[in-house]
């Protein structure tokens, strides 16, 4: 164990100047924004969502093969929902500049599906935001192009929005192979432990399968319904995390801090071809490193409790050492340097919501 710690010591020492820089920038920003913290106005108040018309938005990039498999299940669910509940439901594919013929395929095979064709790949946040800006319904269901939905997934996903304080409702996530260990369930949790934030999915108990919606830390952006008005009131999905991952945890945390709820509707079910787009196209190494980078950015942007951010800043050398032992020095160095490169934007976004927060970090996070 001692020899392993000595091997990662160079990485910890190399990152100390960057740790000092991060601490100085964040603490200076927090001192500068004290007046904002003292003049809180609370979040905007919205009337109950109008559910007579709903949009299902599917983000796509070179996923023709995934659309061919998943779009029929969405159209079946829409027809079933309209037959039972009435109203209208529009399916929109936001195409991130695909070059595999996705747009032409949709126009030929699924003419009832609307297509918002973008000129290039804008990533998860910006691509979805462009679709949200063009939508005209209060509630938008966000789906990844690798999600196959259950025929009855829509109604239980929308029912929670009868409560005007609901921000998002997420579906239960399953794998096509029921024998596989479920890496994600939709029952999301978080813990602030020794200065760092850890996110995970809990198992869903049998008693919860058909029960009322459950509070969750975040609503997964690949299979959730969101109140578009509330989301766009604080700028939509944040491109700080471009090109992908942690954006949904960020939007949900911003909602919780404004006093809005994120729920799991376990009776709503989807089947996920896990990371059917990102890992094959970008590779496991880049995806995992981006997730690590975005974990730092999430804390720097969102955790505004002064004692908690101090604990994080003080723990940075230990956090680096632990990660370097587990994933390797190059992995941690790369992720952290990439995060520090986005620190200025994270700090600007850190100040943006201070006047609207009504719930503190310690109230939402189990902290040791």
- The per-residue pLDDT for 278 is 64
Q: 172 and 269 in contact (C-beta within 8 Å)?
A: yes
The pLDDT of residue 273 is 76
pLDDT in tens, 100-138: 999 999 999 999 999 999 999 999 999 999 999 999 999
| 3-state DSSP assignment of residue 209 | coil
pLDDT band at 192 (very low <50, low <70, confident <90, very high): very high
When comparing pLDDT for 293 and 176, which is higher?
293
The tens digit of pLDDT for each residue in 25-73 reads 999 999 999 888 888 888 889 999 999 999 999 999 999 999 999 999 9
Above 90 in pLDDT, residue 265?
yes
pLDDT at 81 over 80: yes
Q: Helix, strand, coil % (nearest 5) of the chain? A: 50, 20, 30
pLDDT for 367 beyond 50: no
H helix or E strand, kind and range, residue 82:
helix 64-85
pLDDT for 54 equals 98
User: Which range among 3-17, 156-170, 251-265, 288-302 shows the weakest confidence by mean pLDDT?
Assistant: 3-17
pLDDT of 276 over the 70 cut: no
Average pLDDT, the chain: 93
pLDDT-derived band at 2, boundaries 50, 70, 90: low
- What pairs with residue 200 in β-bridges? 189
What number is the average pLDDT over the span 212-239? 97
Average pLDDT score over residue span 136-158: 97
- Integer-rounded Cα Rg, in Å, for the chain is 21
- pLDDT-wise least confident of 11-15, 300-304, 351-355: 11-15
Confidence of residue 297 (pLDDT cuts 50, 70, 90): very high
Spatial CB neighbours of 270, under 8 Å, sequence gap ≥ 6: 143, 147, 148, 149, 150, 153, 171, 172, 173, 174, 223
pLDDT category at 368 given cuts 50, 70, 90 is very low
What is the signed CA dihedral for 265, 271, 275, 277, rounded to 10 degrees? Answer: -120
Lowest-confidence region among 8-12, 77-81, 207-211, 356-360: 8-12
Residue 231 clears pLDDT 80, i.e. is over it:
yes
Domain locations in the chain?
Answer: 2-40+282-367, 53-281
Looking at domain 53-281, its CATH architecture is: Alpha-Beta Complex (3.90)
pTM confidence score = 0.94
The predicted model gives 321-346 an average pLDDT of 95
Cα 264 to Cα 167: distance, rounded to the nearest angstrom: 11
């Amino acid at each position: 164990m001692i020899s392993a710690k000595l091997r990662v010591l160079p990485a910890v020492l190399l990152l100390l100047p960057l740790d000092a820089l991060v601490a100085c920038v964040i603490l200076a920003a927090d001192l500068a924004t004290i007046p904002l913290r003292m003049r809180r106005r609370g979040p905007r108040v919205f009337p109950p969502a109008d559910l007579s018309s709903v949009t299902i938005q599917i983000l796509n990039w070179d996923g023709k093969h995934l659309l061919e498999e998943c779009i029929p299940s969405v159209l079946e669910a829409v027809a079933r929902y309209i037959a039972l509940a009435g109203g209208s439901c529009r399916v929109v594919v936001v195409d991130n500049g695909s070059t595999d013929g996705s747009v032409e395929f949709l126009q030929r095979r699924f003419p009832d599906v609307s297509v918002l064709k973008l000129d290039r790949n804008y990533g998860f946040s910006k691509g979805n935001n462009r679709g949200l800006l063009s939508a005209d319904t209060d509630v938008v269901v966000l789906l990844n192009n690798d999600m196959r939905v259950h025929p009855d997934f829509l109604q239980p996903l929308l029912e929670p929005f009868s409560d005007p304080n609901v921000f998002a409702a997420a579906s239960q996530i399953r794998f096509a192979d029921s024998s596989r260990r479920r890496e994600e369930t939709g029952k999301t949790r978080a813990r602030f432990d020794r200065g760092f934030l850890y996110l995970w999915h809990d198992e869903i108990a049998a008693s919860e399968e058909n029960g009322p919606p459950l509070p969750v830390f975040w609503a997964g952006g690949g299979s959730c319904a969101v109140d578009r008005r509330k989301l766009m009131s604080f700028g939509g999905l944040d491109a700080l995390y471009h090109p992908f991952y942690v954006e949904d945890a960020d939007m949900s945390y911003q909602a919780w801090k404004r006093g809005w709820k994120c729920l799991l509707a376990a009776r709503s079910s989807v089947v996920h071809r896990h990371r059917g787009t990102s890992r094959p196209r970008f590779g496991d190494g880049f995806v995992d490193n981006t997730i690590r980078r975005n974990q730092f950015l999430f804390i720097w942007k969102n955790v505004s409790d002064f004692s908690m951010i101090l604990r994080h800043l003080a723990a940075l050398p230990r956090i680096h050492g632990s990660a370097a032992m587990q994933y390797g020095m190059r992995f941690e160095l790369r992720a952290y340097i990439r995060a520090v490169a986005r620190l200025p934007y994270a700090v600007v976004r850190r100040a943006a919501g201070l006047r609207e927060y009504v719930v503190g970090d310690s109230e939402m996070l189990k902290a040791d």
